[in-house]
Structure 1
Amino acid sequence: MLIVDDEVFVRKGLIRILGECSPQFEICGEAENGEQALTLIEQLNPELVIADIRMPVLDGLGLIKKVKTELEQQPIFIILSGYADFSYAQQAFRYNVSDYILKPVDEQELNAALNKIAQTLNQKQLLSITREKPLVETVIESLLQTQPDDQVMGRIAYALELPLTSSYTYLIAEMQDQLPAGEVDYLPALKDSLLHYLRQEDQTLLLHVRTHNQYGVILPGQWVDERDHSPWGGYRTMLDTLERELGTTIALFVGQKVSHLKQIVSSGESAEKSLQYRFAAGFEGIYMADELLELPLYYFDIDEGLHSKLIYEVEANDHKGYSSTVDAIFSMFQERHFAPGAVTNTIRRSMIAIINIIRQLEGDENTLQWMTELLNWPLKYRNLKQLKQVFQQFIAEAAEYIAEKRGGKSEGNIEKIKKYIDGHYRENIYLKGIAADFDMNPVYLGQLFRKTYGVYFNEYLLSLRIEEAKRLLRQTKKRMYEIAELVGFQNADYFATQFEKLENMTPTDYRNMMIGQ
């Protein structure tokens, strides 16, 4: 695609919009007038030109006229105009302009026009189909994007020696080799292995390269081995064969079966959706869209209690405890069918909490060997077992590092903290402030205090304040607001409420009872 407009801000705005809504087009150049555009069209041979109708030197209509009469290249044109002038539109359409869009550009209108043009370009490519590998891949990608008309479909079926009306399934094979995507080219070996397994070495295999270490293949129904009578058909045998011959872990994401080659786009969409279930339980490397798409995905975070428990156990360097909690978290991923985004959020949240602890101790999280591995896990670790292994390594390393930075002083510190509370409970103290003073995470401190003394920090602080208040009620004639302030309450009403909650009577009733006695 070439963009032609004399206003730079319009060009940049179009680039932004096109990047968001039309990934099927690549912007090959920009020009600020028709004369520059004419040169670029000769040099770059774009398939689509989006041009403003009013420009200096050579306007949009002049550009189209020169291209039509002087150049061998004949790209498709979309005209943009800030003028709602029907005469311009009439003239533009006389040159077979694909679309005429008024400024300011409506994103939905532009996206619809581009989708229509993409379909036209795809069909032009399909009409020139041969058995050469690049064009076979183009055929597959085009079939997965749109439903070609009957003429084009007939050509495809004839060239590939496939029946139009038959069962077809789109399958995604993902290489889970714990390497960055594309580091190993599995295409030749995968092609040979599939053809051998399907016993169709003399047929054209509809196989193409996808992103993220994935390969897609369109399987005609008669090619799939039906010897296994389980619901998974021959896919288990296929997976075992591919893993053995390619020497790596593989996952198969199997789309829903369709009854016509034209409908393969539907099978492809269901295979894409099944990728979202990669962390669901019980599928052992084979993810069938027929089984999965009825299951609701979970898009939220893990329970707050489980997250807090993990962070506490990391701070306490409790190997048995954090190992058990990691098991519970990953079981939850499987049982609740966590979407990949929800898994990512959970991992990121735990990492952020641990990094904050390390920084509070003036440590450097970048010294952790497993830090970078876990940060970049989506690029390398593509199943739950792999992710769990790297997460466990990070957790264990972080726990040891935190214990080392703290110098094993947690148990001694908790006694100092209790003495500090005993001496300062009349002041406006709170857990976060004390934790900061003692270089501890507040969640960890709260859990450690409860584990050591069998009571929550706030409960202990309140009990101290109420006991002192009772002494003042018995031994002095101070007013309620004075007593509240002396024992650390900023509000007399709140003091009275908390007193009554613990003693089952108001401060006044307590004082009167003491006087009566």
Structure 2
Amino acid sequence: MYKVLIVDDEIFVRKGLITIMNESSLQFEICGEAENGEQALTLIEQLTPELVIVDIRMPVLDGLELIRKVKTEHEHQPLFIILSGYPDFSYAQQALSYNVSEYILKPVDEQELAAALKKIAHTLNQKQLLSITREKPLVETVIESLLQTEPDDQVMERIAYALEIPLSSSYTYVIAEMQDMLPQGEIDYMPALKASLQRYFHHELQTLLIHVRTNNQYGIIVPELWMDERSRTVRGNYINMLDTLERELETTIALFIGHKASPLKQIVLSGASAEKCLNYRFAAGFKGIYIADELLGLPLYYFDIDEGLHSKLIYEVEANNQQGYSSVVDAMFTMFQERHFAPGAVTNTMRRSMIAIINIIRQLEGDENNLHWMAELLNWQLKYRNLNQLKQVFQHFIGEAAEYISKKRGGKSEGNIEKIKKYIDGHYRENLYLKGIAADFDMNPVYLGQLFRKTYGAYFNEYLLTLRIEEAKRLLRQTKKRMYEIAELVGFQNADYFATQFEKLENMTPTDYRNMMIDNK
């Protein structure tokens, strides 16, 4: 928005102008009002408006004298619109000699003022682009404008001339990401980054096209003519640049390199391709250099890790088996790289593992907030920006969670499994479920099921069925009880289901088994 100062000795004229401008939907906002030229001089110095709308006749200091003083004595030079109730050519002629932008007669016509404002907005826009200096804010504004649209050739010529960069060169947009494991903005790398790049390119006095992005990233527009011709490949060039930057800035850095753009005004396409490279940050084998020409044809993986791998991780955590869960974490992170997991898929995997572990902790009446690494992993995207950093945080979290779960359970997991087996042996005739037993023994049902199988070589349901069928066989041999009575005595609620399960395990019906036993006698 451009700031506007209204100067008129009539309050109702000022308020009328303010109303018109507020309804104009243009790039202007009222920053102040003055009722004479002397007040206006002070406000112009304090508020630095881009536009001053001033009445030509006022007490103390009139409009023309105000303009003359600003033009000759002030550093800040706003544009002026003069309002006049006098259609006198001499006034207009004098105003034009001061390069006044518009001369509007009172009473002010809304359409005429709107047209004048539109024309001035265009002038100010062009002035902002065409008056580039080497000051940081304006250079960054220009870069961000170039990344959003393609300016016309005249504007591009002025930009190239002002910044002393070759217009004919090809350009590449590069995102330099500081992977320092610190929150955004903790360290301002801009001065050191700029100095290092100027030395690297041998352009110490050259203004760089560099701007600050989010997530500890800096965007750089690199002229092809500046690159080292001794490197035979694009990757070789950027490896040299990365080595220099990491050595001089003393931190880990990744470079995401867009497609080459020619001419400069098409840098928006290079910027878009560099952005897409960020999605490949977890792919294998790129060692801090991510080049659009190499990556963007590779398919990204947007799904979760395999269910078996997830279940194994949770089991090893509950077992507090360091070697086991470390092996699973290694396998997970290898999968991230080899399948080119998208950042969203990695995030979902982290979240899924955390939720499962949090549920276990809560079942044990623990508090996941007691884990130091919990908060770090929850917000990992804000600090940990490559796969090695994320893996370290995840390993710390998994190890800490495993220890915490073991302590909450009293370290009795292995001992408890024997108690659980004895409990099943003594209560198999009852209506038993794995979830109910797990709750009674403060264990996660998935973990209990896997631990039971690991210890006894059979799944819980298989073992329970075997106990029930063995007892049923005894009753069939030694009693004359009916089938529905035997089914109920060994824990089956339904006689038909009992018969089906018996036949499945023994390859004969319960009746055939009883008859076979009678015949054998």
| Superposition TM-score tier, normalisation by shorter sequence | 0.7 to 0.9
| SS of match in other structure, 2:182 | coil
Take 1:450 and 1:36, find their aligned partners in 2: how far apart are those partners?
A: 84
Question: Are the equivalent residues in 2 in contact too, given 1:425–1:461 (CA < 8 A)?
Answer: yes
Name which of 397, 400, 415 aligns with 1:397.
400
Question: Are the equivalent residues in 1 in contact too, given 2:312–2:328 (CA < 8 A)?
Answer: yes
| SS of match in other structure, 2:259 | coil
Deviation larger for 397-406 or 206-215: 397-406
Partner residue of 1:367?
370
Partner residue of 1:282?
285
2:297 is aligned with 1:319: no
Partner residue of 2:87?
none
**CA-to-partner distance for each residue in 1:356-413, whole Å, 9 max, x for gaps?**
2222222222222222222221111111111111111121122122222222211221
2:190 is aligned with 1:210: no
Take 1:186 and 1:309, find their aligned partners in 2: how far apart are those partners?
A: 42
Deviation larger for 216-225 or 353-362: 353-362
Q: Deviation of residue 455 (structure 1)?
A: 0.9
Please show how residues 348-387 of structure 1 align to structure 2 within 5 Å.
348-387=351-390
Matched-pair identity in %: 78
**CA-to-partner distance for each residue in 1:104-125, whole Å, 9 max, x for gaps?**
xxxxxxxxxxxxxx99997674
State the AA in 2 paired with 1:419. Answer: K
Please show how residues 132-211 of structure 1 align to structure 2 within 5 Å.
132-211=135-214
Question: Are the equivalent residues in 1 in contact too, given 2:198–2:208 (CA < 8 A)?
Answer: yes
Q: Deviation of residue 316 (structure 1)?
A: 1.1
Deviation larger for 351-360 or 217-226: 351-360
**CA-to-partner distance for each residue in 1:389-447, whole Å, 9 max, x for gaps?**
11111211221222222222112211111111112222221111110110011111111
State the AA in 1 paired with 2:446. Answer: V
Take 2:472 and 2:366, find their aligned partners in 1: how far apart are those partners?
A: 43
Q: Deviation of residue 332 (structure 1)?
A: 0.9
Name which of 259, 269, 294 aligns with 2:262.
259
State the AA in 1 paired with 2:323. Answer: K
2:23 is aligned with 1:47: no
Question: Are the equivalent residues in 2 in contact too, given 1:280–1:333 (CA < 8 A)?
Answer: yes
Q: Deviation of residue 151 (structure 1)?
A: 3.2
Q: Would the alpha carbon gap of residues 70 and 94 (structure 1) be closer, same or farther in structure 2, given more than 3 Å must change? A: closer
Question: Are the equivalent residues in 1 in contact too, given 2:21–2:28 (CA < 8 A)?
Answer: no
Please show how residues 87-126 of structure 1 align to structure 2 within 5 Å.
125-126=128-129
Partner residue of 1:421?
424
Partner residue of 1:236?
239
Deviation larger for 167-176 or 344-353: 344-353
2:445 is aligned with 1:442: yes
| SS of match in other structure, 2:235 | coil
Deviation larger for 381-390 or 468-477: 468-477
Partner residue of 1:334?
337
Q: Would the alpha carbon gap of residues 166 and 422 (structure 1) be closer, same or farther in structure 2, given more than 3 Å must change? A: same
Q: Would the alpha carbon gap of residues 97 and 312 (structure 1) be closer, same or farther in structure 2, given more than 3 Å must change? A: farther
Take 2:123 and 2:475, find their aligned partners in 1: how far apart are those partners?
A: 88
Q: Would the alpha carbon gap of residues 304 and 97 (structure 1) be closer, same or farther in structure 2, given more than 3 Å must change? A: farther
Partner residue of 1:430?
433
| SS of match in other structure, 2:260 | coil
State the AA in 2 paired with 1:297. Answer: L
Q: Would the alpha carbon gap of residues 46 and 364 (structure 1) be closer, same or farther in structure 2, given more than 3 Å must change? A: farther
2:226 is aligned with 1:223: yes
Q: Deviation of residue 37 (structure 1)?
A: 12
Name which of 497, 508, 513 aligns with 1:510.
513
State the AA in 1 paired with 2:334. Answer: S
Take 1:499 and 1:131, find their aligned partners in 2: how far apart are those partners?
A: 87
Q: Deviation of residue 94 (structure 1)?
A: 11
**CA-to-partner distance for each residue in 1:53-72, whole Å, 9 max, x for gaps?**
xxxxxxxxxxxxxx999999
Q: Deviation of residue 265 (structure 1)?
A: 0.7
Question: Are the equivalent residues in 2 in contact too, given 1:225–1:233 (CA < 8 A)?
Answer: no
Q: Would the alpha carbon gap of residues 428 and 259 (structure 1) be closer, same or farther in structure 2, given more than 3 Å must change? A: same
Partner residue of 2:414?
411
Q: Deviation of residue 197 (structure 1)?
A: 0.1
Question: Are the equivalent residues in 2 in contact too, given 1:171–1:218 (CA < 8 A)?
Answer: yes
Question: Are the equivalent residues in 1 in contact too, given 2:315–2:450 (CA < 8 A)?
Answer: yes
**CA-to-partner distance for each residue in 1:171-218, whole Å, 9 max, x for gaps?**
000011111110100001100100110111232210000000000000
Take 2:437 and 2:127, find their aligned partners in 1: how far apart are those partners?
A: 71
Question: Are the equivalent residues in 2 in contact too, given 1:227–1:233 (CA < 8 A)?
Answer: no
Q: Deviation of residue 231 (structure 1)?
A: 4.9
Deviation larger for 475-484 or 287-296: 475-484
Take 2:327 and 2:436, find their aligned partners in 1: how far apart are those partners?
A: 31
Q: Would the alpha carbon gap of residues 427 and 272 (structure 1) be closer, same or farther in structure 2, given more than 3 Å must change? A: same
Q: Would the alpha carbon gap of residues 48 and 434 (structure 1) be closer, same or farther in structure 2, given more than 3 Å must change? A: farther
Deviation larger for 218-227 or 234-243: 218-227
**CA-to-partner distance for each residue in 1:295-325, whole Å, 9 max, x for gaps?**
1111111111111111111111111111111
Take 2:428 and 2:18, find their aligned partners in 1: how far apart are those partners?
A: 81
Partner residue of 2:466?
463
Partner residue of 1:345?
348
| SS of match in other structure, 1:256 | strand
Take 1:497 and 1:364, find their aligned partners in 2: how far apart are those partners?
A: 45
**CA-to-partner distance for each residue in 1:428-479, whole Å, 9 max, x for gaps?**
2111111011001111111111111111111101111222233333344544
State the AA in 1 paired with 2:351. Answer: R
State the AA in 1 paired with 2:27. Answer: E
Structure number with bigger Rg: 2
Question: Are the equivalent residues in 2 in contact too, given 1:123–1:148 (CA < 8 A)?
Answer: no
**CA-to-partner distance for each residue in 1:482-514, whole Å, 9 max, x for gaps?**
443333233444333322221222334333433
Question: Are the equivalent residues in 2 in contact too, given 1:122–1:142 (CA < 8 A)?
Answer: no
| SS of match in other structure, 1:257 | strand
Q: Which 5+ residue runs of structure 2 have no aligned equivalent?
A: 3-14, 30-50, 56-77, 81-109
Take 2:450 and 2:421, find their aligned partners in 1: how far apart are those partners?
A: 14
State the AA in 2 paired with 1:47. Answer: Q
**CA-to-partner distance for each residue in 1:71-125, whole Å, 9 max, x for gaps?**
9999xxxxxxxxxxxxxxxx99996799xxxxxxxxxxxxxxxxxxx99997674
Question: Are the equivalent residues in 1 in contact too, given 2:256–2:274 (CA < 8 A)?
Answer: yes
Take 1:464 and 1:121, find their aligned partners in 2: how far apart are those partners?
A: 88
Question: Are the equivalent residues in 1 in contact too, given 2:166–2:223 (CA < 8 A)?
Answer: no
State the AA in 2 paired with 1:183. Answer: E
